[in-house]
Amino acid sequence: MSKRDFLSTAGLSRPELDDLLDLATRVKGKRPGQVLGGKTLGLMFFQPSLRTRVSFEVAMVQLGGHCINLSADDLYELEPGEQAIMDGRAEEHVKDAARTLSRYVDALGIRAASRSGTWEHDRRELLLRSYAEHASVPVINLETCFEHPCQALADVLTMRENLLSLQSRKLTLLWCNHPEPKSLGPTHSVLQLAALMGMDVTLAHPLGFEVDHEVLERSKQTAGAAGGSVRVVNDMTEAARGAEVLYARSWGCTKYWDDNEREAMVKRSLHDWRVDEQLMARTDNALLMHPLPVRRNVAATDAVLDGERSRIYDQAANRAHVQKALLMQLLK
DSSP per-residue string spanning 13-63: -HHHHHHHHHHHHHHTTPPP--TTTT-EEEEEESS--SHHHHHHHHHHHHT
pLDDT at 244: 98
Cα 184 to chain centroid distance, Å, stands at: 8
Domains 14-148+319-331 and 151-315 share a fold: yes
**pLDDT below 70 — which residues of the chain?**
1-2
Q: Report the CATH fold assignment for 14-148+319-331.
A: Rossmann fold (3.40.50)
pLDDT at 36: 96
- Rounded-to-integer distance, Cα 25 and Cα 225, Å: 26
**In 3D, which of 172, 245, 234 has the Cα closest to residue 209?**
234
Is residue 197 within 8 A of residue 167, CB to CB? The reply is yes
How large is the C-alpha radius of gyration of the chain?
20
The CATH number for 151-315, chosen from 3.40.50.2020, 1.10.287.890, 1.10.10.10, 3.40.50.1370, is 3.40.50.1370
pTM of the model: 0.96
pLDDT at 1: 41
pLDDT at 2: 61
Domain extents in the chain: 14-148+319-331, 151-315
pLDDT at 320: 97
